[in-house]
């Protein structure tokens, strides 16, 4: 089956999902107008018009500067499209280095033809679909070959057209062909099957176009004449049955694949149907562990497998796979009402947080988006605890923050990038160091999921705001969630690798080389944002599509990011028990996966970034077996005051699926919640868990005293602090007036004479000091009544008790209650 040469991406509609109409097809409406990438695609797309995929496994074939990166497939192979030919190989090594499993990329063979002009413009894409890409190498004479790069095929397939086959070893010398040793003088072999060995091991090559002659020397296999027909090449594995199976299925080859899906209530069946040449029932295609969890009635073929970073790929016969997924049913709110034991504390925190909201001014998409979504969730919490009166104040802040994106002339702005086709951080189109590479198409799903989520919340409560802002928001939904090739402005589901079963975060930076995804929780959140957006649109098709994007990402997270130390699963992607004991993969890449991050090494960081943002829809993603493993693994960090509460709060929230009571108790030490949650939201989340053990989730916290007091020590001195000497020193008979008030996680202490909040140094190197205009984590104290009527103070920042040194200065350095200074509060 030959592809029709097309000038427009829309020509390929029939190859992609055709069941869902585009979200929109009009010119994206963003105030930043049009910008052009400083790294436009190379001649790979010479006959085609944008929009182009930017994030899929093969973008390195197209990305600047030289379109020659090693790319993430088509697995089990990795490959490079060079001017001289298409190189491919399978790693011979798999090492566990204590942190990661690494399968170093290697190229084993290069497929080409003798007449290849070897110029930069003599190969190009002729078609692609949601999984595969078709690449043509061509000469002016018409000679050349076409290769269908289809993930999951154990064979590389090269369709030659009036060209002389040229296969070059890229892994040591060619050692033998069909059992004949290849040495100094060339060996000529004719036939339709060739077994060849080089430094990589054994490959087998098939001619589907009749007998051919190959002349082998130590570097190349060269055709004896020009040839028109298909050559297939496959790696023979160590299994004794491997070659026999490859022989048996060699005649049927895939040229592309159609993605489709049907929805039945809250279930979906996703289908991959490969276009094949040959007998469709005899297509041999490899599955990964996540496929095998979802395949419906697969016809497995045993005796051939390939070990990849995602575990063993194993063959399935037939050109049509059906994969069944349960879809999420949760939308805006948790599916249970907040438990009464928690509501008073939720509302207290909520009132405080809403009163202290600030308008986030966009400096990027990422951090702004996190703040936007976290703020938006407060409106939903207020709604669910019956405090609708608090919602307008949240919406006011959200709208002011969002409005920055809709006016022209801002230094941070959204623009439509025309070389690849997508909405980007405008300044980033020429600078990959802006906004985590957003302008180079990195992290779009992370960034835009947060925005979609927050915007949907505003829209839920304000239809007129939605009418005004719908077009702008829709551009972002199309950017990460376009379902259809009929939208000319955006590639389909930009970040999703449908065969790999999850998204990639990497775009076109670094030559579009190796793929990674470091925070799968944020990827899941992207598709949650799209679900909420679709709910606002009232478009059930788009909502189902978003639910499919969500469900596949969650399955990917559980299969490839969540590790199960005690798992006895023979189909685990990670047979290395040492890796699994690390409980969480930090970064899934194409050639390695490991418990590490680009930015942090703490166990709680590695786990929390795969969980956040915590949302009610994810309750089944945070599965108990994984959470229990994580809980044990991070336990020492959870009681370590030097580990950030930002991360602990996330882990406690997720652990609420196992025991919301334990999560609640442990979270009472938290004074910082990071960018994606807050005390009100944490309490709301815990209060709405399944609560497997039953019983009250929250217990009433001992509140700090409230009011204005002088602080007196047991020796009768009063604590002073002045504008000139803000440090707290118990040396006076007068003392400064301090106002004690609630704040989430404890309370603040405010010098009313100087209008400054008391702050504590995390290292306790300097005394407490009334020196902050606003109260945040370092200004958070627990003031605890003792049985003798005195109080002790505990600094939230380092969980240390306040002591008094010989000069009378107050330090937060008491490790135990016994070391704590006792104070009497004298009401003013
Ligand atoms: C192998 O044959 C090719 C094609 O004739 C030639 O270019 C190459 O130099 C030969 N290599 C060796 C080591 O003889
Ligand atoms: C959805 O799938 C579940 C689990 O396979 C099954 O029990 C249920 O009947 C399905 N529902 C529908 C509507 O197909
Ligand atoms: C709070 O922190 C202190 C000091 O790290 C610790 O001793 C205490 O057990 C913690 N309380 C809870 C409830 O986690
Ligand atoms: C108490 O200590 C502060 C800070 O050292 C100092 O400024 C103040 O004069 C002292 N007051 C008395 C009464 O000694």
Can you give the pLDDT at residue 2? 29
Within 10 angstroms of residue 258's Cβ, the number of other Cβ atoms is: 18
**Per-residue model confidence as pLDDT tens digits over 33-92:** 999 999 999 999 999 999 999 999 999 999 999 999 999 999 999 999 999 999 999 999
Phi, psi of 237 (to 5 degrees): -95, 175
User: What tokens does 504 get?
Assistant: 């990639």
Tell me the HSE value of 506 on the side-chain side, using a 13 A CA sphere: 23
Nearest-5° Cα angle at 374, 584 to 24: 95
Please report which confidence band the pLDDT of residue 562 belongs to, taking 50, 70 and 90 as the band edges. very high
> Per the structure block, which two tokens stand in for 620?
């089944």
Contact 811, 802 (CB under 8 A): yes
Nearest atom in ligand 4 to the alpha carbon of residue 727 is 4
Task: Check residue 13 and give its pLDDT.
Answer: 33
Nearest residue by C-alpha to atom 14 in ligand 4 = 731
- The string of DSSP letters for 780-799 reads -EEEEE-TTS-EEEEETTTT
Mutate to test the pocket of ligand 4, among 715, 722, 732 (most ligand atoms within 8 A of CB): 732
Compute, in angstroms, the gap from residue 223 CA to the centroid of ligand 1.
12
For residue 6, pLDDT beyond 50:
no
50 contacts 418 by C-beta, under 8 angstroms = yes
User: 7 falls in which pLDDT band (50, 70, 90)?
Assistant: very low
DSSP letters for 710-760: EEEETTS-EEE--SSS-B-EEEESS---EEEEEETTEEEEEETTTTEEEE-
Which residues, 6+ apart, have CB-to-CB distance to 600 below 8 Å? 606, 609
Given a contact cutoff of 8 angstroms between Cβ atoms, the answer to whether 400 and 360 are in contact is no
Q: Decide: 554 and 64 in contact? Cβ < 8 Å.
A: no
Q: Which one of the ligands is nearest to 165 CA? A: 1
705 within ligand 3 shell (Cβ under 6 A): no
Nearest partner of 214 among 239, 246, 248, 186, judged by Cα: 186
Cα of 734 vs centre of ligand 4, distance in Å, is: 11
pLDDT of residue 704: 95
**What is the model's pTM?**
0.95
* The pLDDT value given to residue 29: 86
At 511 the three-state DSSP class reads helix
Q: Return the C-alpha torsion angle 766, 770, 771, 775, nearest 10.
A: 110
Among all ligands shown, which has an atom nearest to the Cα of 214?
1
When the pLDDT of each residue in the chain is averaged and rounded to a whole number, the result is 95
CA atoms within 13 A on the CB side of 461: 23
Q: Which residue(s) pair with 791 in the sheet?
A: 785, 823
Contact present, 616 and 335 (Cβ < 8 Å): yes
**SS3 track for 655-695:** HCCCCHHHHHHHHCCCCCCCCCCCHHHHHHHHHCCCCCCCC
CA of 643 to the centre of ligand 3 (A): 13
Helices marked H in 356-462? 366-384, 391-406, 444-461
Q: Is the pLDDT of residue 17 over 80?
A: no
Mean predicted confidence (pLDDT) in 659-685:
96
Measure Cα distances from 593 to 506, 559, 815 in Å: 15, 12, 40
Residue 144 Cα to chain centre, angstroms: 39
pLDDT band at 566 (very low <50, low <70, confident <90, very high): confident
Percent of the chain with pLDDT over 90: 95
| pLDDT given for residue 701 in this prediction | 76
* Tokens 């497998």 found at: 305
Strands 187-191 and 212-216: antiparallel
For 646-669, what is the mean pLDDT? 97
CA of 610 to the centre of ligand 2 (A): 28
pLDDT at position 12 over 80? no
Q: Which of 267, 293, 296, 322 has most ligand 2 atoms within 8 Å of its beta carbon, as the pocket-test mutant? A: 267
CB count in 10 Å sphere of residue 465: 17
Share of the chain above pLDDT 70, in %: 98
Task: Write down the pLDDT at residue 71.
Answer: 98
Is the pLDDT at 602 greater than 90, yes or no?
Answer: yes
**Gap between the Cα atoms of 679 and 57, Å rounded:** 40
Distance CA 272, CA 289 (A): 16
**Which ligand gives the minimal distance to the CA of 266?**
2
pLDDT digits (tens, 9 = 90+) for 457-516: 999 999 999 999 999 999 999 999 999 999 999 999 999 999 999 999 999 999 999 999
DSSP state of 44: G
Question: What is the reported pLDDT for 589?
Answer: 98
Q: Which is nearest to 727 in space by CA: 749, 758, 753, 765?
A: 758
For residue 108, give both structure tokens: 């084993």
Residue whose Cα lies nearest atom 5 of ligand 2: it is: 326
**Which ligand 1 atom lies nearest to the CA of residue 222?**
4
d(C-alpha 567, C-alpha 577), whole Å? 9
**3 pLDDT more than 60:** no
Give the span between the Cα atoms of 486 and 21, in whole angstroms: 8
Q: What's the CA gap between 241 and 303, in Å, rounded?
A: 5
Q: What is the model's pLDDT at position 274?
A: 98
Amino acid 474: pLDDT: 98
CA distance 769 to 751: 10
Classify burial at 64, counting beta carbons within 10 Å of its beta carbon; exposed 0-12, middle 13-18, buried 19 or more.
middle
595 Cα–ligand 3 center, Å = 27
Q: What is the pLDDT of residues 711-746, one digit of tens each?
A: 999 999 999 999 999 999 999 888 999 999 999 999
- Please tell me the distance from the alpha carbon of residue 334 to that of residue 619, in angstroms, as a whole number: 9
Measure the CA–CA gap between 808 and 828, rounded to whole angstroms: 22
Closest CA to 573 of 674, 502, 636: 502
Q: How far is the CA of 709 from the centre of ligand 4 (A)?
A: 19
Ligand nearest to the CA of 794: 3
- Residue 209, exposed/middle/buried by CB under 10 A (0-12, 13-18, 19+)? middle
CA distances from 217 to 11, 158, 177, 363, 735 (A): 43, 21, 10, 60, 94
Q: Classify strands 34-35 and 414-417 as parallel, antiparallel or unpaired.
A: parallel
Q: What are the structural domains, with CATH classification, of the chain? A: 707-827 (2.80.10.50)
């Amino acid at each position: 089956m030959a592809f029709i040469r097309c000038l427009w991406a829309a020509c390929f509609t029939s190859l992609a999902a055709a069941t869902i109409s585009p979200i929109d097809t009009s010119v994206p409406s963003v105030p930043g107008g049009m910008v052009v990438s400083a790294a436009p695609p190379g001649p790979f797309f010479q006959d085609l018009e944008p929009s182009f995929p930017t994030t899929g496994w093969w973008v390195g074939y197209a990305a600047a500067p030289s379109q020659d990166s090693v790319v993430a497939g088509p697995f089990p192979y990795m490959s490079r499209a060079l001017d001289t030919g298409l190189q491919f190989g399978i790693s011979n090594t798999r090492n566990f280095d204590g942190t990661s499993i690494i399968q170093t990329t290697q190229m084993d063979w290069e497929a080409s033809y003798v007449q290849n002009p070897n110029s930069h413009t003599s190969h190009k894409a002729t078609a692609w679909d949601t999984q595969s890409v078709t690449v043509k190498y061509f000469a002016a004479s018409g000679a050349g070959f076409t290769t269908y790069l289809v993930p999951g095929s154990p064979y590389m397939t090269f369709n030659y057209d009036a060209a002389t086959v040229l296969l070059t070893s890229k892994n040591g010398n060619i050692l033998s062909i069909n059992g004949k040793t290849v040495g100094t003088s060339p060996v000529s072999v004719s036939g339709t099957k060739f077994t060849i060995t080089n430094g990589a091991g054994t490959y087998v090559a098939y001619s589907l176009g009749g007998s051919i002659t190959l002349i082998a020397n130590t570097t190349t296999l060269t055709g004896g004449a020009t040839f028109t027909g298909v050559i297939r090449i496959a790696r023979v594995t160590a299994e004794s049955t491997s070659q026999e199976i490859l022989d048996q299925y060699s005649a049927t080859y895939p040229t592309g694949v159609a993605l489709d899906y049907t929805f039945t209530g809250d279930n979906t069946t996703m289908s991959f149907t490969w276009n094949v040449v040959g007998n469709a029932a005899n297509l041999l295609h490899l599955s990964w562990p996540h496929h095998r969890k979802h395949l419906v009635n697969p016809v497995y073929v045993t005796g051939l497998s390939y070990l990849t970073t995602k575990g063993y790929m194993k063959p399935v016969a037939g050109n049509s796979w059906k994969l069944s997924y349960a879809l999420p049913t949760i939308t805006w709110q948790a599916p249970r009402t907040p438990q009464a034991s928690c509501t008073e504390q939720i509302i207290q925190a909520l009132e405080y947080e809403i009163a202290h909201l600030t308008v986030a001014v966009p400096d990027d998409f990422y951090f702004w988006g996190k703040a936007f979504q976290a703020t938006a969730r407060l409106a939903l919490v207020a709604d669910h605890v019956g405090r609708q009166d608090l919602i307008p104040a949240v919406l006011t802040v959200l709208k002011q923050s969002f409005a920055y994106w809709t006016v022209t002339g801002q230094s941070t702005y959204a623009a439509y990038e025309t070389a690849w086709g997508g909405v980007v951080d405008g300044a980033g189109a020429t600078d990959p160091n802006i906004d985590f590479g957003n302008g180079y198409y990195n992290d779009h799903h992370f960034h835009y999921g947060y925005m979609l989520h927050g915007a949907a919340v505003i829209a839920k409560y304000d239809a007129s705001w939605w009418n005004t802002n719908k077009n702008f928001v829709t551009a972002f939904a199309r950017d990460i969630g376009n379902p259809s090739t009929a939208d000319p402005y955006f590639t389909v589901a930009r970040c999703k690798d449908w065969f790999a079963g999850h998204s990639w975060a990497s775009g076109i930076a670094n030559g579009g080389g190796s793929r990674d995804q470091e925070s799968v929780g944020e990827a899941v959140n992207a598709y949650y944002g799209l679900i909420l957006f679709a709910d606002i649109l009232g478009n059930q098709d788009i909502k189902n599509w978003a639910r499919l994007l969500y469900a596949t990402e969650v399955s990917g997270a559980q299969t490839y990011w969540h590790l199960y130390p005690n798992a006895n699963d023979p189909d685990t992607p990670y047979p290395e028990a040492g890796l699994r004991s690390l409980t969480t993969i930090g970064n899934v890449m194409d050639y390695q996966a490991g418990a590490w991050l680009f930015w942090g090494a703490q166990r709680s960081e590695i786990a929390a970034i795969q969980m956040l943002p915590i949302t009610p829809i994810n309750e089944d993603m945070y599965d108990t077996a994984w959470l229990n493993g994580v809980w044990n693994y991070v336990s020492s960090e959870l009681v370590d005051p030097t580990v950030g509460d930002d991360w602990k709060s996330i882990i406690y929230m997720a652990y609420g699926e196992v025991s919301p009571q334990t999560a609640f108790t442990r979270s009472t030490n938290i004074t910082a919640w990071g960018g994606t949650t807050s005390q009100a939201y944490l309490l709301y989340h815990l209060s709405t868990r399944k609560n497997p053990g039953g019983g009250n989730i929250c217990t009433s916290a001992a509140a700090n005293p409230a009011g204005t007091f002088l602080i007196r020590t047991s020796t009768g001195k009063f604590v002073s602090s002045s504008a000139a000497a803000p440090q707290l020193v118990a040396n006076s008979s007068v003392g400064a007036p301090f106002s004690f008030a609630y704040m989430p996680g404890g309370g603040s202490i405010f010098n009313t004479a100087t209008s400054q909040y008391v702050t504590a140094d995390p290292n306790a190197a300097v005394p407490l000091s009334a020196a902050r205009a606003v109260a945040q984590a370092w200004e958070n104290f627990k003031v605890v009544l003792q049985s003798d009527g005195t109080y002790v103070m505990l600094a939230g920042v380092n969980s240390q008790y306040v002591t008094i040194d010989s000069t009378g200065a107050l330090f937060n350095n008491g490790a135990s209650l016994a070391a704590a200074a006792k104070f009497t509060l004298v009401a003013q």
